[in-house]
Structure 1
Amino acid sequence: MSTPTLTTHAAARSRAHGPTAALWHAVELHRPVAEVDGACELTLCGSLARIDVEQVWPVPARDVCPACVVLAR
């Protein structure tokens, strides 16, 4: 019988691109937070965003990616 694993998500901020606003996204972490260097990572919705290790997912903001909210549940 396998033991359940706890999935950890980090908050990541995308860049504004054209008329698209910068949003907060969720990134699934497969390594310790100490090993995350703030580089761009692939988010749950498929965007690239820079991880902000000082932010906790879910972020208490209004500009959050709706797809990441659903996928991070």
Structure 2
Amino acid sequence: MSAPTVAATVVAARSRAHGPTTALWHAVSLHRPTAEVDGACELTLCGSLARIDVDQPWPTPARDVCPACVVLTR
């Protein structure tokens, strides 16, 4: 019996500011239902760690968005 296929969903995630950098919105590719997201940090498409916000759509209309994630989701 084969495992069921789960389609990837791209959701927005907010990173934390470190040093002189600012917090940015990133894209995360989820391979599980958003109901299973427990608020922990996830690996973003650009390789950062960020906390998922399932209420924030991707692409997000915010101005402080990771440029690498924007390119990777096109």
- Which stretches of structure 1, 4 residues or longer, exceed 2 Å deviation after superposition? none
TM-score by length of 1: 0.88
2:33 equivalent in structure 1: 32
Distance 2:68 2:7 in 1: 20
- Mapped to 2, the partners of 1:16 and 1:43 lie a distance apart of 15
Q: Which residue of 2 aligns with 1:13?
A: 14
1:1-73 alignment, distance < 5 Å: 7-73=8-74
* Matches of 1:44 and 1:68, distance apart in 2: 6
Indicate conservation of the 8 Å contact 1:38/1:53, yes or no: no
Aligned amino acid, residue 64 of structure 2: D
Q: Which has the larger strand fraction?
A: 1
User: What is the deviation of 1:6?
Assistant: 5.5
Gaps of 5+ in 2: 1-5
Give the TM-score normalised by the residue count of structure 2. Answer: 0.87
Secondary structure of residue in 1 paired with 2:64: coil
SS in structure 2 opposite 1:38?
coil
SS of 2:21 mapped into structure 1: coil
Count of residues paired in the alignment: 69
Unaligned runs of 5+ in 1: none
Identity %: 83
* Aligned-partner Cα distance in 1 for 2:7–2:33: 13
